[in-house]
Amino acid sequence: MQILLSNMACISMKSSMNWGWMATGKKQMNQNNALPDIAAFLKSQDTLTLFCHVRPDGDTLGSAFGLMDLLESLGKRVKVLCADPVSPRYRFLSGGRADLLGTPEGALVCIDIAAPDMAGAYAAFAKQADLVIDHHATNPYFGKWNYIDAAAGATGEILVDLAEELGPLSPRAAAAFYTAIATDTGCFKYGNTTRATHLKAARLMETEFDVAALNRWLFQTKSQAEFEINRLAMETLRFYAGGRIVTMLISREMLLQTAAGADELESISSLPIQIEGAVVAATFKEAEPGQYKVSLRTNGLLDGGKICALFGGGGHRMAAGCSMRGAYETLEACMVKTLRQELEKVQ
């Protein structure tokens, strides 16, 4: 991270950017610029490119397109770029476009991008970011200007504050920021939902948009393929240790039969841990024949990240993953054995 920052310093010397924080001498390592200063920086630019992270979700897209709307209202030329396609669920944000490829120009802004690599094919541009706005705790403050708030449930929450500095919210921008916040917090369900999250949702709802229809689209609409893959996966549930361990299989046959895409598989790994009594759930997705991506979910009692590390993977306590190769029955038995051992340590 230090190497990255010193590289950034080199670039900075050559750039003609207005480094407000150098002039005031207030900027320290990993310290945020003030939002009014960031707003002033954005207002000083004529052309801007906003980058979203790969496998774009509602937070990166909603935050970027909401900001685009605000900046366009100020007469700026703005484009949003993303190296990966936009899933059908979020294309209402991008005006129907699945493809957000193009040539970056003007000021480079990274939105909800935890590290330059998360910009995928645009990583080289992300490394030169003029501004980074994000809520991931691991963000190395890789922009010339930065605003990172790990307490925010979504990057969209930061954008609501920034919008106060940039001018009136259109219904379109409000809906985009609402999408960002609602999707990253599981519609205000997950542990990252704070008082501020609710206050910002209330603030956005001062601007009129059809929040009920938006919620229906985001949280209560599933494709037939998603319904079908969920049903098939639920047939494969197996329970061990009195129901405390649950396993689930998504075979290649099931994927081919339903034609379910990545979008339709997004939340399937979270299903088995919802079963009452489950402490840990392992979902095996057969990515290639005999090659499985294993998603571990825990109720917090076990550390899924540590368990996945035993298999060369990693992640968080409650959500982690690893890859395994072999016959399903063998791999499942191996994982269950490990999970039993881990359970015995804590119970």
Tokens representing 113? 């991008």
Angstrom distance (rounded) from CA 332 to CA 324: 10
CB distance 248 to 237 below 8 Å: yes
Q: How far is the CB of 274 from a second copy (least distance, A)?
A: 5
For 18-62, the DSSP string reads --HHHHHT---TT-PPPHHHHHHHHHT-SEEEEE--SS--HHHHH
Give the count of beta carbons closer than 10 Å to the beta carbon of residue 147. Answer: 24
Q: CB-wise, 12 or 223, nearer to a second copy? A: 223
Q: How far is the CB of 200 from a second copy (least distance, A)?
A: 8
Q: How far is the CB of 84 from a second copy (least distance, A)?
A: 22
Angstrom distance (rounded) from CA 86 to CA 98: 5
- Write the CB contacts of 143 (distance below 8 Å, at least 6 apart in sequence): 8, 110, 129, 130, 131, 132
At which residue do the structure tokens 């393929």 appear? 225
Angstrom distance (rounded) from CA 194 to CA 324: 37
Q: Per CB under 8 A, does 219 bind a second copy? A: yes
Tell which positions 246-275 bind a second copy, by CB under 8 A: 270, 273-275
Q: Per CB under 8 A, does 319 bind a second copy? A: no
Q: Can you name the residues that pair with 284 across neighbouring β-strands?
A: 249, 294
Q: Per CB under 8 A, does 222 bind a second copy? A: yes
Q: CB-wise, 62 or 120, nearer to a second copy? A: 62
Provide the 3-class DSSP secondary structure of residue 148: strand
Q: CB-wise, 36 or 243, nearer to a second copy? A: 243
Q: Can you name the residues that pair with 296 across neighbouring β-strands?
A: 282, 320
One of 19, 125, 239, 328 touching a second copy (CB under 8 A): 239
Q: How far is the CB of 244 from a second copy (least distance, A)?
A: 12
CB distance 90 to 64 below 8 Å: no
One of 220, 256, 312, 344 touching a second copy (CB under 8 A): 220
Angstrom distance (rounded) from CA 238 to CA 231: 14
Q: CB-wise, 77 or 216, nearer to a second copy? A: 216
One of 34, 54, 237, 309 touching a second copy (CB under 8 A): 237
Site string for a second copy, 270-309 (x = CB under 8 A): x--xxxxx---------------------x----------
Q: CB-wise, 17 or 214, nearer to a second copy? A: 214
Site string for a second copy, 174-213 (x = CB under 8 A): -------------xxxxx-xxxx-xx-xx--xx----xx-
Count of residues that bind a second copy according to CB under 8 A: 40
One of 26, 77, 97, 231 touching a second copy (CB under 8 A): 231
CB distance 84 to 118 below 8 Å: no
CA 161 vs CA 51, 135, 166, 216: distances in Å: 20, 13, 9, 26
Angstrom distance (rounded) from CA 245 to CA 263: 26
Q: Per CB under 8 A, does 146 bind a second copy? A: no
Q: Per CB under 8 A, does 347 bind a second copy? A: no
Q: CB-wise, 53 or 135, nearer to a second copy? A: 135
Q: CB-wise, 41 or 90, nearer to a second copy? A: 90
Provide the 3-class DSSP secondary structure of residue 184: helix
CB distance 240 to 341 below 8 Å: no
Q: CB-wise, 24 or 227, nearer to a second copy? A: 227
Q: How far is the CB of 279 from a second copy (least distance, A)?
A: 13
Q: Which residues bind a second copy (CB under 8 A)?
A: 187-191, 193-196, 198-199, 201-202, 205-206, 211-212, 215-216, 219-224, 227, 230-231, 234-235, 237, 239, 243, 270, 273-277, 299
